[in-house]
Amino acid sequence: MTNPNPRRIWLTGASSGIGLALAEQLLKDGHLVALTARTLQPLEDLEKRYPQQVLLVPGDVTDGQKVTDIGDRITQVWGALDTAILNAGTCEYIDSSAYDAALFERVVRTNLLASSYCVQEALLLLRHGQQPHLVGVCSSVTFVPLTRSEAYGASKAGMRYLFESLRIDLAHEGIDVTVVSPGFVDTPLTAKNDFAMPMRWSANKAAQYIAERLHRNRRPLEISFPMLFILMLRLLSALPTRVQLALGKRMARTSQPMKGGR
């Protein structure tokens, strides 16, 4: 697809799930996309299909120096960014009977600290871009505390606070900030979940929904989906804390630590 006004977009976590589907959608829409992930093969496949649009900048975003190198590479090739979509993330569930602080650290490093490394480099590039836009993919889990989600929820809540605070501080520079809060989406991470995932969307459906809203003239402060699921979580969050606790205890169960996700 030829786009008369392509945007220069940096997308992290682009090798699977929402990230891979979103990369495909943005490229179909004719944008230039710098792709970051640790797994190289899916990125190379996209480069073969969209050779004039893809900039490969692979790497581990939990490594601050590597993220700086990625920023330097984008600067060398494009000189600026118009949009940065920080999507890389992970999830591991905590077993409170054998609390694992190392697990907590892994999740926070990937979801929150890595996002901060990427924000640092993204802002340097966005300040030279056209109608700059910073986007953070958080989670609907931040609306209400859920069983076994101590690490994932805390990291995503921290990420939400980071982006919402940046929205205020960057407003005078004309840099818009959007928070994305997905419900359950079919990804390699959620495939490991051992519980019901109501109103689950496909990764392609989620990517199309996000892409459509990112490119509207009036940029959204938040993109949340599916709407009924988000409404239910918001209603739960408005309940008294003791009621939330009672409901949460009904869902809680003892299990071994496992990996899963959005």
Cis bond before residue 226 (omega within 30° of 0): yes
- The structural domains of the chain, ordered by start, are 8-259 (3.40.50.720)
215-240 core/surface letters (b: 16 or more CB in 10 A; e: else):
eeeeeeeebbbbeebbebbeebeeee
Task: Tell me the per-residue pLDDT of 61-101, one tens digit each, with 9 for 90 and over.
Answer: 999 999 999 999 999 999 999 999 999 999 999 998 899 99
Neighbours of 248 (CB within 10 A): 14
Q: Which helix (H) or strand (E) holds 80?
A: none
Q: What is the pLDDT confidence band of residue 256, given thresholds at 50, 70 and 90? A: very low
Per-residue confidence at 253, pLDDT binned at 50, 70, 90? low
Q: What tens digit of pLDDT does each residue of 193-219 get?
A: 777 778 889 999 999 999 999 988 899
